[in-house]
Chains A and B, each alone.
Chain A
């Protein structure tokens, strides 16, 4: 068993390291619009790795991730403005957002399925209102500048490194009893309770973890971007994040990366003017979901299995 688990870890962590290095190269290489898109893709991947615990492994459709993302971005910007050292501001921003995640979890982890989705959507609606209207803190609808906490080089390294470490942490945690409990919740929550799995607490931990990932991604995003505005953290973003996990392949290690790249790429490519773009995007997402209910990675995985079986039997 140890030999096979070592191989399994190597097969997952090797590509994770490669992706992390590639992200760093792209972040340094791209400027302007391409750089902006790369930043979004990397920070979304970090945020979505957290969401992948809740939505991916536990099967709970959360629409709160953009709130956590924004929470980290805004809190760190505000704290930096108050003269806190960058590391402390970042830590407090992540901690504060995890606390918000704890409240969200305590309230909504007792609900299931669509009720959980509606509850977390409500939370995002509230945070969007706060980001937009608490102008003294957030700068209002136009957003606010973000003070320089980390030097740019450090921010780029942190972005690429967090992407890799985040994915690695996901891979390792998914193999622990925490991961097993989350999968049991997804499969049959009642049976899990019969077996004594503390389902409410397991879900709560997953939500707090996802808030932490989202907030840290927000801190780094704000650092690189230099400006934070409410339009980056609305319900629409939360919904796109939710879609990204589904399109990538819920619960799979690289779903956050594949989903982020596809969703962000498509939103850039599909540009038919306001209103029409959203309708086209919606149609594309529905089509992908119908054709590939287990996401792009699910399709690729099935293809790979077929090729391998053929190679073995031939």
Chain B
């Protein structure tokens, strides 16, 4: 179980994320929804220690990991799949996977590799190929598999569907469902509404760096919170005088 309390990330005078509080439960996919620039990715990076936080508390399974750097967070069970930066293109697929468990001994790495190959048969068949040769969907699947190599309790995913064909999105969605079913918590930042509806049980809606709504995905869609977040409420007066 991940609990984020009062997370604030500021870049100089600009506050990108303000007082974000959210939870992600094991065995479920939790969504973070919002328009471009709302602060979704920054929230993920803030949780993962990749951008400096001005406030906030991160608790993973009861353990306060707020002060941890990225390396310690990965060891504590927090894995990130960053957006648009999926694999090391010049490394083989197997080497890509091994980097995911770079902190472990040889035996553990081999054991986890076997687990991945059991789950994704085609990855085993193509393990010696340079990762750059894979299609976008395959790369995303390997990126997710690489996150699993660290044996995470929580996987943070930033827009796994971006740039993928509908068929590839379905494959990625299937892989994520499997991961959640196996008991891992998944926190998903996503623009693809269909994928969100398929995968997420609950979601948090972010606008202008703040949480504006939370609930089950069905509730959020019914209440119009999602369309408000993506399309904007009619808050700007029609005639602002300029």
Interface residues of A (CB under 8 A from B): 1, 177, 180-181, 183-184, 186-188, 190-198
Contact = CB atoms under 8 A, between A and B. Distances in A.
Contacts of B70: 193-194, 196
Nearest to A198: B71
Given A177-B102, A196-B73, A183 B88 contact: yes
B34 interface: no
Interface in B106-151: 106, 109-110, 146, 150
Contacts of A191: 82, 85, 88
Interface string B150-178: 10000000000000000000000000000
B82 A183 contact: no
B85 A190 contact: yes
A181 B103 CA distance: 10
7 contacts: A177-B98, A177-B104, A187-B91, A194-B85, A195-B99, A196-B150, A197-B71
Contacts, number: 62
B100 interface: yes
Contacts of A192: 88, 99
Nearest to B113: A1
A191 B48 CA distance: 13
Interface in B69-89: 70-75, 79-80, 82, 85, 88-89
Contacts of A180: 95, 98-99, 102
Contacts of A194: 48, 50, 70, 80, 82, 85
A190 B86 CA distance: 11
B215 interface: no
A78 B48 CA distance: 51
Given A180-B95, A196-B75, A187 B102 contact: no
Given A180-B98, A180-B102, A181-B99, A195 B91 contact: no
Per CB-CB distance, the 9 closest pairs between chain A and chain B, nearest first, are A196-B74, A187-B88, A196-B71, A184-B99, A191-B85, A194-B82, A196-B70, A187-B90, A180-B98
Interface in B22-80: 48, 50, 70-75, 79-80
Nearest to B131: A187
A186 B89 CA distance: 11
Contact of B91 (A177, A183, A197): A183
Contacts of B79: 195
Nearest to A188: B88
Contact of B103 (A183, A193, A196): A196
